[in-house]
Amino acid sequence: AGTGLTMAKAPPQGRRLHILKRQENVGARQMRDILMRARDRMDMQILRAAREGRFARSVALRDTLWAQLGAEYAAMGGRLDEWLARRTTAVAREWRKLAIADLPPGALHQEWGQFSRKYLRDVVELASPANAAELAAVNLPGKTRSAVASMASQDIGAVRAAVIQTHRLAAATGMTAREVSKELLAAVTRKRPAWAFIDAAGKRWHPRSYFSMLNRTTAANVSRNVTMNVASEAGFDLHIIEGGVVSNSHPGCVEWAGRIVSASGASTKYPSLDAAVSAGLFHPNCRHYLAAVTKEERAETRVDVLADRKATQIEAIELQEAA
């Protein structure tokens, strides 16, 4: 059976970060389109309602708007779920090809159809950062739809607050109906939050930062899970952690980048991947990826080279920070 590879030659294991970045850029463009279209539709509904002269006094009109906004958020959540499934499939296809290219000639691997039926659903569930334990402190209880529900609650709550404040101002100043409508339109526009997320420590996350994290972490998680699945099918348990070290690297990444780990944890010679993850590797936004170890002696030589390079990088970072 053929491998299904379309690339003439797979990039070396240590030179694949650009692939992740390219996949992130594609996902980011698609996600921005979904978000901005949804935001435009919601803005039009809010502005149309606020221009209605009876909106400030009519409970029925306001309830209609809340229902419309809720429906738009629900629809946006569905589109984001669809986006996640599409991106997972696209990224999985490419990293499966890379993982197969790393295997020795004749190594066992499944055709894409077999692989997708067996693994793709699990990859989708594991890949979503909304399910990551590292995000447990953030107000994202579960999947992307729950995150969208949180956004809806905040956004609709801000519009409600603007209506109440306008009522109070009108009662205190004796505003005319036209003045009430004008003030309400300004208040609603001014008070809506910028789709902020609030973590357990009270830190506000700008929406672009959150969705950037969602996109980047999804691509990286898919690459890792697919790499491990392909390697395990062929009987390879060891992986080298690729991606290097930079000045703002997470401490867990500095500690583990360039080391060999056991995906199953069964090795008595190498630490488990779970130990690396528990120490902070593969945190949200982490771009480190895995590459299968098929020739241990060669991999250990590469680990020594990477260790020397990492020590040099860390020393340069420390000197820069001390300057």
Flag the least confident range among 69-73, 121-125, 183-187, 257-261: 183-187
Q: Are 115 and 229 in contact (CB under 8 A)?
A: yes
And the tokens for 292?
Answer: 């299968």
**Scanning the structure block, which residue is given the tokens 């694949």?**
16
- What sign does the CA torsion over 257, 273, 205, 72 have? positive
Percent above pLDDT 70 for the chain: 75
Cα distance between residue 306 and residue 264, in whole Å:
23
Q: What is the pLDDT of residues 104-130, one digit of tens each?
A: 988 888 899 999 998 888 887 777 655
Q: What is the pLDDT of residues 42-55, one digit of tens each?
A: 878 877 887 776 77
Query: Amino acid identity of 90?
Result: A
Cα distance between residue 224 and residue 226, in whole Å:
6
Which of 63-67, 178-182, 316-320 shows the highest mean pLDDT? 63-67
